[in-house]
Structure 1
Amino acid sequence: MRKIVHVDLDAFYASVEQRDDPALRGRPVVVAWRGARSVVCAASYEARKFGIRSAMPALRAERLCPEAVFVPPDFSRYREASRAVREIFERHTRVIEPLSLDEAYLDVSENLTGLPTATAVAEKIRAQIHAELRLTASAGVAPNKFLAKLASDWNKPDGLFVIRPKRAQALIAPLPVGRIPGVGPVLEKKLATLGIFLIADLRAADLALLQDRFGKYGQRLHELSLGIDERPVSAERERVSVSAEDTFPADLSLDELPPHVRRMADRTWAAAAKLGKPAYTVVLKLKTSEFRTLTRSWTGEAALSSSGMLADRAVDLLARVNLPPATRFRLVGVGASNFRDPEADAQRSLI
């Protein structure tokens, strides 16, 4: 049986700001640029009491809490703090699956420090983060990734919760289905039409019905309702795509987008180059002034060979945006994906 710990830094960006500036401590801090087009990157727990959440428009956050302190994000400092947290993780296990700068799964079935239990490992990690980095983290301990992630939310902030195998099904039964990863508002509504509101309802639902309505994911939902999750912690998560995007100060027409597409392509190429493998697919992302998101993609037989080629293909994709001429756009993004190992491709061509 695996011993999994999910560690989640509490209000990470905002907590780093409060740590580094004593004047911000105890105050509602919103990490975001000010402006009509900005969105909230993070909110301190003092700000969350006013209903402010990540991804919320900054203007709405300001209306909810006029006294909030807005701090522009400093991602270089957040990345440095994340690296320091990673170093603490590595004292305890080499099997680490980062999900973002502020959370990760750790398989501590065999930990490096000789601590007797996974709970002891989680407690030690939290203590080291607090003592060395002056940040707090919440942790969940469980026999699998699904349960560990649920557990880390149980006692936030600065909490620890353990879900033991024998108690798992009883503990998760009364939770709403929206707590299951991958069950967003749309799927939640579809489940509600079947009378499924809680994990207990999902567990009682007919498996054939779930599979008929949701395909393979129906089977997955059934397994999660029973607390079953066989996914291992993946220490080496392969990047499947890289991208860059930008929100404009003012909406632009389609004809005004090419230079911005090229600018994002340059940023994407720089990030893709670090992976050491060429990409074969270009993705263009646009968001209209009405917040409609659309994507277009191109895949070539040959790999992308330069930033210019990536930019050219992305600009070409603008011709496939069939919207009224009056449409205005607030965001553009360029992505590269379908990375392949050239040597592996050459070997396949010889078979």
Structure 2
Amino acid sequence: MDEQQKEIPFGDRIIMHVDMNAFFASVEQQNDPRLRGKPVAVVGSSKRTIVTTCSYEARAFGVKTGMALWEAKSCCPNLILVVGKNREYTRISSLIMKLMYDFTPLVETFSIDEAFLDISGSLSLFGTPENIASLLKARIGDQFGLTCSIGIAPNKLLAKLASDMQKPDGLTVIKPAEVALTMDRTPIRDMCGIGKKTEKSLTMLGIRTCGDLGRFPVKLLRQKFGIVGEALHLMGLGVDDSPVVPQEESDLVKSVGHSMTLEKDLEKREDILRYLLQLAEMVGRRMRRYGVAGKTVCLSVRYADFFTNFSRQLTLPEYTNLSAEIYRGAVTLLDSVELTQPVRLLGVKLSNLRHQDEQLPLFEGERKKAHLAKAMDEVNSRFGEFSVTYGTLLTVEGKKGSFVISPAWRPQGIRKVDVE
């Protein structure tokens, strides 16, 4: 085995990125054989839903994530719409992530359908990186009937790039000696972390590939993008020193938030306030569960035109995790702006976090608030979200939990969001 290891053209680190293929749609096809081989789009349960994801059969017709249903149907008239089962997706994701720990203790959940694995220390047990990937793909296929695409490279940035190169069910390896050629061939839009706005700015500078980006003068990148310019330069070179961080070793989460696309556009202040209270309660409950308090409230609003949005933030006098105080901060922010259109989406977030000790507040009024919040949390933990709630929320539809799975979702801990 030692001789086999010496033949592997890698440095000190070997990173694997696992990306489940069309995860939600694939789970639906696996659970219902009638959907296999057919164009399937997973959608939300609300009237104003969009395509959450779709099968590869649907993608062949041009159906894409984020499409309105009428647009998706125009691309593929035979498209089968399936309402997503978020609890099932999170259950299967948790089991798949658990399976990965059989190959290495260094597993970092990147999203519900993606993970990074540091397999540098696993070669003596399982052989080459390609063999480890093949074993993992086989286990996932045997146990769950699902496929994944895997990228292997010297760092996380390149491993994620590699996993996107062959889909579905692909396996791509980028060796250190191949990095420069790979960067020259890779359009900047394919690199994780470069969005449409950044791509446009880089293109105006004559930068079209990652190789172009790596060779572009760092000084000019700093002038154009500030401190981000240095990071862009390193990305263009394929350099990434960030470690794979298992959840139990990760840093404290910097913010806790929830957002919600509304069933209908709202114009009346009292209607908007009901949803703000619901979102504040969802944020506060998660924070109390993990003993975290925050000081900065952020309100996000998206208008009915879908494209116009804004956010405002306010720093509170004291750290808090009480829903009522989070709500009051959100209301203050709402009242600080003049809404120019009906509201389509609302979001509430609390940042500037710290862990909170178990000591009760000094003043009687504050102690009562803390006891009330604790009592409500205990009832809702036992009987389900919003079993006990504020009277004003009784008229709010869909108050059982989050409609969507957050991109920051994790199998456990404060980033795990309860979904319906």
Normalised by the size of structure 1, how large is the TM-score?
0.92
Provide closer, same or farther for how the CA distance between residues 122 and 289 of structure 1 changes in structure 2, counting only shifts above 3 A: same
Deviates more, 1:241-250 or 1:135-144: 241-250
- Describe how 1:237-276 pairs up with structure 2 within 5 A: 237=250, 238-255=252-269, 256-276=271-291
Deviation at 1:166, TM superposition (A): 0.7
Deviation at 1:305, TM superposition (A): 3.8
Match of 2:215 in 1: 204
Structure 1's unaligned 5+ residue stretches are: 344-351
Provide closer, same or farther for how the CA distance between residues 193 and 247 of structure 1 changes in structure 2, counting only shifts above 3 A: same
Q: Distance in 2 between matches of 1:37 and 1:232?
A: 40
Deviation at 1:254, TM superposition (A): 4.8
Deviations 1:144-180 (A, max 9, x none): 0011001101111001010000111112211111112
C-alpha root-mean-square deviation of aligned residues, in Å? Answer: 1.7
Partner amino acid for 1:275? Y
Deviation at 1:341, TM superposition (A): 2.2
Partner amino acid for 1:340? R
Give 3-state SS (helix, strand or coil) of 1:303's partner: strand
Partner amino acid for 1:57? A
Partner amino acid for 1:246? M
Partner amino acid for 1:77? E
Match of 2:294 in 1: 279
Give 3-state SS (helix, strand or coil) of 1:41's partner: strand
Q: Does 2:95 match 1:84?
A: yes
Match of 2:352 in 1: 338
Deviations 1:176-224 (A, max 9, x none): 1111222111111111111111122212312211121112222222212
Structure 2's unaligned 5+ residue stretches are: 1-11, 358-420
Q: Does 2:42 match 1:31?
A: yes
Deviation at 1:241, TM superposition (A): 2.0
Give 3-state SS (helix, strand or coil) of 1:200's partner: helix
Q: 1:96 aligns with which of 97, 100, 107?
A: 107
Q: Distance in 1 between matches of 2:129 and 2:123?
A: 11
Deviation at 1:100, TM superposition (A): 0.8
Give 3-state SS (helix, strand or coil) of 1:302's partner: strand
Contact 1:35 1:58 (8 Å CA) reproduced: no
Match of 2:313 in 1: 297
Q: 1:124 aligns with which of 123, 135, 155?
A: 135
How many pairs were matched up? 341
* Identity across the alignment (%): 36
Normalised by the size of structure 2, how large is the TM-score?
0.78
Deviations 1:99-119 (A, max 9, x none): 111001111111298112222
Provide closer, same or farther for how the CA distance between residues 4 and 98 of structure 1 changes in structure 2, counting only shifts above 3 A: same
Give 3-state SS (helix, strand or coil) of 1:173's partner: helix
- Describe how 1:144-183 pairs up with structure 2 within 5 A: 144-183=155-194
Q: Distance in 1 between matches of 2:39 and 2:287?
A: 37
Deviations 1:276-316 (A, max 9, x none): 21122222111111221111222223111422222222122
Q: Structure 1: which 4+ aligned runs deviate by more than 4 Å?
A: none
Provide closer, same or farther for how the CA distance between residues 85 and 328 of structure 1 changes in structure 2, counting only shifts above 3 A: same
Deviation at 1:38, TM superposition (A): 1.2
Match of 2:81 in 1: 70
Deviation at 1:265, TM superposition (A): 1.5
Deviation at 1:24, TM superposition (A): 0.6
Q: Distance in 1 between matches of 2:202 and 2:136?
A: 38
Deviates more, 1:74-83 or 1:273-282: 273-282
Partner amino acid for 1:26? G
Q: Distance in 2 between matches of 1:272 and 1:137?
A: 34
Provide closer, same or farther for how the CA distance between residues 113 and 309 of structure 1 changes in structure 2, counting only shifts above 3 A: farther
Provide closer, same or farther for how the CA distance between residues 174 and 305 of structure 1 changes in structure 2, counting only shifts above 3 A: closer
